[in-house]
Amino acid sequence: MAHTTVISDGSLYEDKNELATTKDGNATRKTRGIPFSRKISYAVGGMPYQMTANAKGFFLQIFLLDVVQMGAFYASLILFLGRAWDAITDPLVGYMVIKSGRTRIGKLIPWIVFSMPLGVLAYIMMWFTPQESMSPSSSFFWFFIWSCLFDAFMTCYHVPYSSLNMFLWLKSISSLSSAIMSPTLHSTCSWGVTRRTETLPPATRRAYVLAALVLGGIYFLCCVVLFLGVKEQLAPLSTLDRIRMPYLAGMKMVVGHTPYVKLVFGFLFASLAFQMAQGNFALFCTHAAGLGAYFQHLVLILLTAATLSIPLWQTLLLRLGKKTTLYIGLCMYAPALVIIASIQSNLPVFIIMSIISGSSLSALYLLPWSMLPDVVDDFKVKNPTSTDLEPMFYSCYVFFNKFGGGMSVGISTLALHFAGYKPGACRQNPAVITALRVLFAPVPVVLLLIGLVLFYFYPINEERRGQIQQELQKAEKVVGNQEMEAVGL
C-alpha cells in the first residue's frame, strides 16, 4: 500500500511502506520521489474544471444576455441559483465520496471516470440553443437545467480529484494554461454595430457550440490521461476507509476548526472580488471601455500572464512564506482594477493592467489552495482519531467559493437589470455604464480588502507549519512501529 506525504518544503514524495528499523529501534519508511509522468498525469486531470470554470466565468453572462438575448432578470436567476446549487452539491458529494467503498480501481477514481461522460454532455448542451427564438420561460428552464446538471457532474469529478492529492501546485499550472481555450468564445458587440437584429446569425450560435465541443473533447482526453497515469495515493495517517462519523458531526468538526474558518472566509472574499470583476469583464470591455473587439486578446493575455507568473509565486513562497507572498500577490489586483475602470479605449494600458491582473489571479489560484493542506494537517494533529475527512475539507472550501461566486454574478446581473440593461443592444444607457464601472472596480476592491484582513488573522505561519510536519512524522513513526509489531518484527 502506498502513501503520499507533503513535507515542509512543499515537495511530494511517495511512501512505499518499506518498513525498516533505525538504530534507536523505531520504524521508518524508505521514500522515493513520485515519477514525473505521474505528476504530469495528475496535473492534466485538473484541466477540465479550470477550463470550464473560466469559460463560464468570462462568457456565460454575456452569452445569456447578448447571444440568447435573455432578460437580465432571468439571466441573474440562472447565474445565482445555478451557482448556489453547485455550491450545495459540493459538501454532499464530498460526504458521499468518503462514504463510498473501495473498488478494484480505487475509491476516488471511479467517481471521476463515471461522471465524465455525463459532464461532457451537459457542458455541450449548456451552450446549445435548440431554437432560433424561445419563450422566456422555455429559455430559462433549458439553460438553468443544463447548467445545474453540468455543475453536479463536474462536482462528482472535481471533489474526488482534489482529494487525490493534498498539494495542488501542478494542478494550478495546468488549469491556468488550459483556460486559454476559453477565448474561442467572443463578444457579439465586437463589430461596431449599434444594435443587432432580433436574431443572431446562426454562425454566432454555432461558434459557442463548437467551442463547447472542443472543451468537451479536452475534458474527455484529460480524464483518460488521469485514469491511465495516476494511482490513488493516501495522505499521512489516512486509510480511506468508510467514514464512521455521521455527516453533521463531521461537518461540525470541519467548520469548527479555527484555522480552516479563517482561511475559508479570507479566500471567500478574495475570490468574490476576482469573480465579480471576471464576470463583468466582457460587458465592461464591450459597453464601458469601447474595447469589445479586443476582449479575446485581453483575456488571452491575462491568462497567459497568470500561467507564466506561477514559478515566480512559487519562488517567493519558498523564500518569504505563504502569507507574505499571498499579500504581495493580492495587493497588486486593486490598483490594476482601478486603473482599468478609470480609462477608456486605451489598449496599451489595458494590456499592462491585464498582465498585472493575471499575475495576481495566479496568486489566488496557487496560495490559498497551497495553504489548505496545512490546515488539514493541523486538524489531523489536533484530532488524530478523526481521519479521512479530506474530501469534506475540500468540498466545503469549494462550497464557499462557489456560493460566493454565484452571489457575485447574480447580484451583478440583477444590478444591470435595474440599471436598464437592454439585451441585444450594443449601446447601453449611462446608468448601465456607471453600474458596470462600479461592479468592475469599487465593489471588488472593497471585497478584496475584507479578504486581506481575514488572511491577516490566519494563524498558521512558517514556524507552525514546521511544527505540524514534525508532529506528523512522529505520528507516522508510531504507526510504523505498530505495523512492525503486527508482522512480528
- The cell for 192 is 461596431
Distance CA 290, CA 434 (A): 14
Distance CA 462, CA 468 (A): 10
Max Cα distance, the chain (Å): 82
400, 265 Cβ separation under 8 angstroms: yes
Distance CA 140, CA 402 (A): 21
Distance CA 80, CA 94 (A): 22
Place of cell 490598483: 335
Rounded to 5°, the CA angle 387-390-395 comes to: 145
195 backbone dihedrals φ, ψ, rounded to 5°: -160, 135
Of 42, 29, 27, nearest to 1 (Cα)? 29
264, 371 Cβ separation under 8 angstroms: no
220, 226 Cβ separation under 8 angstroms: no
- The cell for 194 is 449599434
Distance CA 64, CA 52 (A): 16
Residues lower than pLDDT 50 in the chain:
1-31, 166-188, 190-199, 237, 239-242
87, 309 Cβ separation under 8 angstroms: no
- SS3 letters across the chain: CCEEEECCCCCEEEEEEEEEECCCCCEEEEEEECCHHHHHHHHHHCHHHHHHHHHHHHHHHHHHHHHCCCCHHHHHHHHHHHHHHHHHHHHHHHHHHHHCCCECCECCHHHHHHHHHHHHHHHHHHCCCCCCCCCHHHHHHHHHHHHHHHHHHHHHHHHHHHHCCCCCHHHHHHHHHHHHHHHHCCCCCCCCCCECCCCCCHHHHHHHHHHHHHHHHHHHHHHHHHHHHCCCCECCCCCCCCCCCCHHHHHHHHHCCHHHHHHHHHHHHHHHHHHHHHHHHHHHHHHHCCCHHHHHHHHHHHHHHHHHCHHHHHHHHHHHCHHHHHHHHHHCHHHHHHHHHHCCCCHHHHHHHHHHHHHHHHHHHHHHHHHHHHHHHHHHHHCCCCCCCHHHHHHHHHHHHHHHHHHHHHHHHHHHHHHCCCCCECCCCHHHHHHHHHHHCHHHHHHHHHHHHHHHCCCCCHHHHHHHHHHHHHHHHHHHHHHHHHCCC
Contacts of 107 (CB under 8 A, 6+ apart): 97, 100, 101, 232, 240
Condensed to tens digits (0 to 9), the pLDDT of residues 282-333 reads 888 888 888 877 887 888 888 888 888 888 888 898 888 898 999 999 999 9
Distance CA 425, CA 188 (A): 10
Distance CA 342, CA 339 (A): 5
380, 78 Cβ separation under 8 angstroms: no
* pLDDT score for 401: 73
Place of cell 496535473: 43
158 backbone dihedrals φ, ψ, rounded to 5°: -80, -35
* pLDDT score for 488: 58
